[in-house]
Amino acid sequence: MLEYLQIVFGFQSLVTIFIGTVAGVAIGGMPGLTATMAVGLLVPFTYTMDPTAGLMLLGGIYCGAMYGGSIPAILLNTPGTPAAVATAIEGYPMSRQGRGGLALKVSVIASFCGGTFSAFVLLLFAPFLARQALAFGPAETFLLALMGLAGIVSIADENTSLIKTLIAGVLGMVIAIIGTDDMSGSLRYTMGYVELVDGINFMPALIGLFSMIQMLELAGQRHHKIDTTALKRRQKSEPLPAGIARPIALGAGTGTVIGILPGEGATIAAFISYNISKRMSKMKELFGNGNPEGIAAAEAGNNGCVGGSLVPTITLGIPGNSVAAALMGAFIIHGMIPGPDLFTDYAAHTYPFILSLFVANAVFLVVGLVFAPYLARIALVPPALMVPVVSAFAVLGSYALNGSVFDVYLMIAFALGGLVLKKLGYSLEALILGLILGPIAEGGFTQGMIIGHGSPLVFFESTIAKVMWGLIALLLLPPLHAYWKHVHKPSRLSAGQ
């Protein structure tokens, strides 16, 4: 471990982590730009970098962006990222009361605690979980992908129905079958395009769905003037309120656990942490009017998601959320396939990457405590300037990995198609997870069928398979139950009338 610490604390590594984290805070602070967008956009560029440095840069961006979203949420009522919406509910009223300084302090300390705790969980459990993956055969690998699909079900929210979320996930898996069939070596659904022989490239799809789509939306939006009165108001300096450690601990734990579940993102983690904290608080009446406990729980929750989401990503190859999916792309382009090998053959890259997350958390703690009020002005960058710059990087990023203009067209097609799907209520997170899980599921399924001589019973035989079926059921039941209740609510009402 000492040698890995030496790598992390080397001058070049520290500079890389610092640049990544500060850039992440700035990106997170710009409404419309998200951690997924930034990480997805930069993954192709890390291809020519030293793998450890590239991963540290992306890890820094992930940590920084998750925190950065809270700054404009608190001072301008404009969440930099969707994960900071819960923070705005409590943070902005505090700023209007002249207590923005305290809100920013609580936010950065809670983010630091949540992020550090989750990185610790990642460091502790990831190698253990990865070792368990050694016992996985093709049948278990297929079930693992099904577990990821079960996670897709829980992505469904008020904007995306459960069935549509599942359709989007399966559509991603269908898109993933384009290319060469591993079993027969024949081409499938390539429509004569040589560029599709190896299948749909994951990175242009990710950049199209999570970066370019946001730019298309921003370009077509009518922009509202941001209220900067709280930014101009003098904010008083206050000590941390007593009892703030409780919501922080609650948020950190909740966020980490939610992050580990496939498909669950930082936004859900922040809202669940916020709601639990509200339910358990002795000052419930202050929620909605500027309660620092709400900020603490939400920020510890969304930053707790960072390390948590990386646990299934680097151990099992099942991304915890869309940012983790983009980071998984970075591992893959450097030839590091998620699983036990990352902790043996590639330990010299993986452990410094995990340790760099602790440094990234410390960097944004210092940056946040000193510069947060000034960083809020980033949110005032006009979208008219942001859109062309990010679009140019999206084109560059799509092209850079394979040097193929076809990938740029693919990125534009995914952005346009993704926008239509999004407007019709289909989950893009589910689509990208399906795209990632597709090849894993197909590999496990086809090999399992060969081992089982064509009998599907092979997927139920081993003890691990049985446990995994249980876990899949556990993942599926709560959202299905909630959906059932939601669908039958109006009919019960009308029956009552």
d(CA 407, CA 212): 13
Residue from 45, 120, 125, 460 binding other proteins (CB under 8 A):
45
Please identify which residue in 96, 164, 233, 377 interacts with other proteins, judged by CB under 8 A.
Answer: 164
Greatest pairwise CA separation for the chain in angstroms? 73
Q: Distance (Å, rounded) from C-alpha 329 to C-alpha 54?
A: 12
DSSP at 179: E
Q: Which residue in 108, 22, 30, 33 sits closest to 61, CA to CA?
A: 22
The verdict on 222 binding other proteins (CB under 8 A) reads: yes
The footprint of other proteins on residues 62-101 (CB under 8 A) is none
Dist CA 212 CA 210 (whole Å): 6
- Using rule CB under 8 A, residue 9 touches other proteins: no
Tell me: does residue 173 bind other proteins (CB under 8 A): yes
Structural tokens at position 67: 């925190």
- How far apart are alpha carbons 432 and 172 in whole angstroms? 6
Q: Does 166 bind other proteins (CB under 8 A)?
A: yes
Q: Which of residues 248-267 bind other proteins (CB under 8 A)?
A: none
Helix (H) / strand (E) containing 188? strand 187-188
Site track 407-446 with other proteins (rule: CB under 8 A), x = hit: -xx--x---x--xxx-xxx---------------xx--xx
- Options 22, 311, 400, 472; binder of other proteins; rule CB under 8 A: 400
Which H or E element spans position 492?
helix 463-496
Task: Give residue for tokens 């382009």.
Answer: 333
Residue 239 or residue 454: which is nearer to other proteins going by CB?
Answer: 454
Q: Tell which residue, 205, 269, 271, has the closest CA to residue 433.
A: 205
The candidate with the shortest Cα–Cα distance to 65, out of 25, 113, 19, is: 25
Of 88-96, 112-120, 219-227, 475-483: span binding other proteins (CB under 8 A): 219-227
Distance CA 353, CA 42 (A): 16
Q: Which of residues 129 and 170 has its CB atom nearest to other proteins in the complex?
A: 170
The 3-state DSSP class for residue 135 equals: helix
* Radius of gyration over every alpha carbon of the chain, rounded to an integer in angstroms: 22
Binding track over 260-299 against other proteins, x by CB under 8 A: ----------------------------------------
Interface stretch with other proteins, choices 102-110, 190-198, 210-218, 334-342 (CB under 8 A): 210-218
Q: Of 82-90, 272-280, 372-380, 402-410, which part binds other proteins (CB under 8 A)?
A: 402-410
Q: Name the site residues for other proteins (rule: CB under 8 A).
A: 45, 47-49, 161, 163-164, 166-167, 170-171, 173-174, 177, 181-184, 186, 188-189, 212, 215-217, 219-222, 382-385, 387-389, 391-392, 395-396, 399-400, 403, 405, 408-409, 412, 416, 419-421, 423-425, 441-442, 445-447, 449-450, 454
